[in-house]
Amino acid sequence: MDTARAFIEAERQWGAPNYASLPVVLHRGRGAEVWDVEGNRYLDFMSAYSAANFGHCHPRIVRALTEQANTLDIVSRAFHSDKLGAFLQKACETTGHQAALPMNTGAEAVETAMKAARKWGYERKGIAPEQAEIICCAHNFHGRTTGIISMSTSAQAREGFGPYLPGIKPIPFDDADALAAAITRNTAAFLVEPIQGEAGIIVPSADYLARCARICKAQNVLLIADEIQTGLGRAGHALACHGYDVQPDAVVIGKSLGGGAIPVSLFLARRDVMDVLTPGCHGSTFGGYPLAGAVGLEALSILEDENLCQRALDTGGYLIERLKPYEGAKIKQVRGRGLMIGVELHGTAQASAQLVTHLRARGILCKNVDSNALRLAPPLNISPELVEEFLHAFEYALERL
């Protein structure tokens, strides 16, 4: 087998330079463990930004995928399949919504939410044509499409890709008063991450989402939660919003919905919101195809059967408890909910990058986010033994900063 250097060079020569990947070339994985092309073993504490919530190559996911691939792979939505209805029903029952629209990537689900919110605003709320507004939060990360980057406040995400979508109003995160002040007669929706992931695992005040829900209801504005990273157990509940006793009007989920095997996403909402999307106005050839239905249904069943929401709460609580005593000279703050944990360091982003390097040398794969913080997000079913292995490695790496 070629060396890691050869694989990295092939990507550099033939690929677009839009990623600054860490110099690890992974070859296989099982559960929370992965191995590179040179046989080195690591613990995966990124979980592909929550896409691998159930670990790598979960046997039930692999079985569902292969059985369906050997039966029927793709039909367009011009026809029905025997896998879609049960998948959508399970997703609605899991999240507490009335209807679901399947897409593929998280960004596609967010774009679907934006389109549905605008159309609902015109047809149900009576907003004047072409005047609908969507409120979002500063430092959000909802995706990379041209429509979605119109909501971004990151110069790196926006520069060179304008002109941007009109009708977008960013406000500070964790500021319900700012939401109330921003709403006008043209506001169709407020799109928010319950916990901001790429901004550094920013956990809002305990009453923030509940206050936002009350404001939106009073003003007839849709509260749409982006739960692509936080949902399906990552924050300790089927939806992170449920941990705050909030049921959003609509939600987008993805990543782990595909069991780490294929891209699957959903836009879920109340029936009156979903029903504005009539035949011909929106769709996707692969959205809800038989492989997605089979794998998505199995992923939702694993979430329930393996009690992964509670396991994330328990394991995440233990990790935070063990990491909190390190706050001090090197670590500014440990924060998070469930197994979505941020470790913010003092100083510049260079410090967190160095810690990532030291952890990799000790067999732990994680990555720093935009701020000077590490994202710690292992699979939800990680074993207690592997958690202890991580803690020993973390202490060793921290001492070398």
Cβ-contact 345, 355 below 8 angstroms: yes
Could you report the average pLDDT of every consecutive run of 10 residues in the chain (401 residues)? Answer: 87 95 96 97 98 98 98 95 98 98 98 98 98 98 96 93 97 98 98 96 98 98 98 98 98 98 98 97 96 98 98 98 96 97 91 95 93 94 98 96 88
Q: How far apart are CA 107 and CA 115, in angstroms?
A: 12
Cβ-contact 113, 147 below 8 angstroms: no
Instruction: Return the structure tokens found at 135.
Output: 């409120």
Cβ-contact 252, 224 below 8 angstroms: yes
**How many Cβ atoms from other residues are within 10 Å of residue 69's Cβ?**
15
Shortest CA distance to 390 belongs to which of 339, 333, 327, 345? 339
Question: pTM of the prediction?
Answer: 0.97
Instruction: Return the structure tokens found at 57.
Output: 């190559």
Residue 228 buriedness (CB in 10 A; 0-12 / 13-18 / 19+)? buried
pLDDT score for 348:
79
pLDDT score for 6:
95
Shortest CA distance to 377 belongs to which of 197, 252, 238? 197
Q: Within 13 Å, how many C-alpha atoms sit on residue 17's CB side?
A: 3
Residues 6+ apart with CB under 8 A from 388: none
Q: How far apart are CA 196 and CA 88, in angstroms?
A: 27
Give the CA distances from residue 132 to residues 41, 185, 252, 279, 395, in Å, rounded to whole numbers and listed in that order: 51, 9, 20, 22, 51
* Catalytic residue positions, numbered: 141, 226, 255
Instruction: Return the structure tokens found at 347.
Output: 């100083």
Instruction: Return the structure tokens found at 30.
Output: 């099982």
pLDDT score for 1:
52
Domains of the chain: 59-305 (3.40.640.10)
Q: How far apart are CA 86 and CA 105, in angstroms?
A: 20
Shortest CA distance to 144 belongs to which of 78, 234, 228? 228
Q: How far apart are CA 158 and CA 216, in angstroms?
A: 28
Give the CA distances from residue 350 to residues 39, 83, 209, 355, 398, in Å, rounded to whole numbers and listed in that order: 29, 48, 33, 9, 14
Relative orientation angle of helices 349-361 and 384-399, to the nearest 10 degrees: 120
* HEC readout, the chain: CCCHHHHHHHHHHHCCCCCCCCCCCEEEEEECEEEECCCCEEEECCHHHHCCCCCECCHHHHHHHHHHHCCCCCCCCCCCCCCHHHHHHHHHHHHCCCEEEEECCHHHHHHHHHHHHHHHHHHHHCCCCCCCEEEEECCCCCCCCHHHHCCCCCHHHHCCCCCCCCCEEEECCCCHHHHHHHCCCCEEEEEECCCECCCCCECCCCCHHHHHHHHHHHCCCEEEEECCCCCCCCCCCCCHHHHHCCCCCEEEECHHHHCCCCCCEEEEECHHHHCCCCCCCCCCCCCCCHHHHHHHHHHHHHHHHCCHHHHHHHHHHHHHHHHHHHECCCEEEEEEECCEEEEEECCCHHHHHHHHHHHHHCCEECEECCCCEEEECCCCCCCHHHHHHHHHHHHHHHHCC
pLDDT score for 72:
97
Cross-strand pairs, 227: none
